[in-house]
Amino acid sequence: MANSFTRVMSGRNTAVVLASIGASTLASGYLLSDSTAAADRKRLYPPSADFPDLRKHNNCMAAALTPKIYAHLRDKTTSSNWTVDQCIQTGVDNPGHPFIKTVGMVAGDEESYEVFAELFDPVIKDRHNGYDPRTMKHPTDLDASKITSGMFDERYVLSSRVRTGRSIRGLSLPPACTRSERREVERVAVTALSGLKGDLAGRYYSLGDMSEREQQQLIDEHFLFDKPVSPLLTSAGMARDWPDARGIWHNNEKNFLIWINEEDHTRIISMEKGGNMKRVFERFCRGLKQVEQLIQERGWEFMWNERLGYILTCPSNLGTGLRAGVHIRLPILSRDPRFKKILDNLRLQKRGTGGVDTAATGDTFDISNLDRLGKSEVELVQLLIDGINYLIECEKRLEKGQDIKIPAPIAQFRK
């Protein structure tokens, strides 16, 4: 896959980009004049006068940003006029999170990761357990046949799910996109998805156009994503113009879904009830490959490079963007004081079953892989499978009154 950002200005994409510019000339004119005036005002003051107060903050951005880095980056912009202050606004507005250490910054476009690399690189290294984007290369592997032991004991595992995100090269990411760009993402994605056949064939539901009956059905089935209310997302501009150009596509079997223009251009999800993670991942890989092929046939491509893998809005999702998880009952192990250490050593993360903004309650948890970058999709799903099987074995031993052991820590990267 091409990894040059300048690829966007070649061939068919040029026409689309220029058409988008023409379609929003008045809006763009106002935006440019406003941003130019803001830049002029900013130059009246030294960077030290603009440096954010991060003394009470606990996120990756706050730990990495120094007055020197800020001074070097403050007046830089990407070609879409995105600034470092816009990147960090969500981390400035949200000092911390009660359940997880947040990243504290987002990208506005693919170029952000290069123009503001002086800040993004240490944030990436912090979030991804030492992965160095300047010296390391990210592996990609979507061969589901390599997975072993992917069927869980369904007395414990209630459901299985794998998701990732993909961004369309040449269009700004959700924090920065114009209305015309967001609508173009929807058009490109929906047109491509109409080409899926067989068990992946389905239909698209626009959030703005769906009937009340359709909306209620999607809510009942837990498919519908709502307007973002988390301050982490709203501070990053994710809820602008809601629900314009947002929607959900799912296949007829309702086990392969794609969210359009939520936190990323697209979120691809394979899921089902029960414990057959191997089947879920096989469908995930097959669908993802077909979607990418259909996108490419229409003259577009996904954002990707060999250092960062697939490019997404939040640095936490770089690389694979993959989160493989299960809803699992662990009534005895979850009360054991060793539970957290076991999860840490297995590179697993637990959440409440309501999502990232919910605490785990009761004895049912959403447990998933912690890492995204530096390991391939196959490696991460296998890590999740092995880890869940270990947790189930611990639960069974505790049921019998037997002791359990804390496993040795899993190495983050290949040696």
pLDDT band for position 141 (cuts 50, 70, 90)? very high
Percent with pLDDT over 90 in the chain? 75
Instruction: Give the other-Cβ count within 10 Å of 56's Cβ.
Output: 8
**How do strand 202-206 and strand 348-351 relate by DSSP bridges?**
unpaired
Note the pLDDT tens digit of each residue in 31-85: 445 556 656 666 789 999 999 999 999 999 999 999 999 999 999 999 999 999 9
pLDDT digits (tens, 9 = 90+) for 259-277: 999 999 999 999 999 999 9
pLDDT of the residue at 362: 74
**What contacts 141, CB < 8 A, 6 or more positions away?**
376, 377, 378, 379
Burial profile 393-406: b = 16 or more Cβ within 10 angstroms, e = fewer: ebbbebeeeeebee
Per-residue pLDDT of 156-192, as tens digits, reads: 999 999 999 999 999 999 999 999 999 999 999 999 9
Q: Is the pLDDT of residue 207 over 70?
A: yes
> Of the given ranges (12-26, 111-125, 392-406), which has the lowest mean pLDDT?
12-26
Element (H, E) at 251: strand 247-251
Q: What is the pLDDT of residue 16?
A: 43
Summarize the confidence of residues 378-385 as an average pLDDT: 98
**So what's the pLDDT on residue 38?**
59
Greater model confidence, 208 or 109: 109
The span from the CA of 389 to the CA of 366, in Å, is: 14
Q: What is the pLDDT of residues 327-379, one digit of tens each?
A: 999 999 999 999 999 999 999 999 876 555 555 567 899 999 999 999 999 99
Q: pLDDT band for position 234 (50/70/90)?
A: confident
Contacts of 252 (CB under 8 A, 6+ apart): 199, 201, 202, 203
pTM listed for this prediction: 0.85
Query: Quick one: pLDDT at residue 4?
Result: 43
What distance in Å separates the CA atoms of residue 243 and residue 205, rounded to the nearest whole number? 12
% residues pLDDT > 70 (the chain): 87
